Amino acid sequence: MSLLKLMEKRYTCRRYSTEEIKEEDLLKILEAGRLAPTSHNNQPQKIYVVRSEEGKEKLLKDFAYNYKAPCYLVCTYDVNETWRNDLDGNKESGEIDVAIVMTHMMLMVEELGLGACWIGRLNPELIKKNLELPEAEKIVGVLSIGYHREDDRPSKLHDIRKSNDEIVRYL
């Protein structure tokens, strides 16, 4: 399948089967994240794989949603390893870097026939506390991943897209 077709087909999964993710698939997903470009190639990302029941209980303790995924990837960056843009007030690139990493992993999830949901509605400080993550790390988001349950479907908003005439400007 072409990359553009894969991107068009991908949708947010909110209903997962109970099937565990194959180890080789998880390793491919993590490799896709490792290969993602980052600012100045600093690679400040840290990915926490949460698959154990104990880990999921800690992670989901203060979550707004529980999609009952077999695996969650908590995606953070280390503020001491991120590149800073001195032309923009020393702005950290970590959030952008991790967004690129998460996108790479989501596309690999789709290629492997799994589903993913980028969970951004969360309280990063509570998650850091519950999972006992290092103080120097900032959470950007969490990916829930797993195999689609039979009744999983794209949301009714999935196919609504603005045209390029509405979002692209040539200067």
pLDDT tens, 46-94? 999 999 999 999 999 988 888 999 999 999 999 999 999 888 888 899 9
For residue 116, give the nearest of 79, 86, 82, 75 by alpha carbon. 75
CB atoms near residue 160 (< 10 Å): 7
Question: What local confidence, expressed as pLDDT, does residue 14 receive?
Answer: 92
Identify the three-state secondary structure at position 22.
coil
Structure tokens at 97: 């870097």
**Pair 101, 36: CB distance under 8 Å:** yes
Q: What is the pLDDT of residue 63?
A: 86
Determine the Cα–Cα distance for residues 36 and 18; give it in Å rounded to an integer. Answer: 29
> What per-residue confidence (pLDDT) applies to 37?
95
Q: What is the pLDDT of residue 156?
A: 87
**Report field, pTM of the whole predicted structure over 0.85:** yes
For residue 71, give the H/E element and its range.
strand 71-78
Could you say which residues of the chain have pLDDT below 70? Answer: none
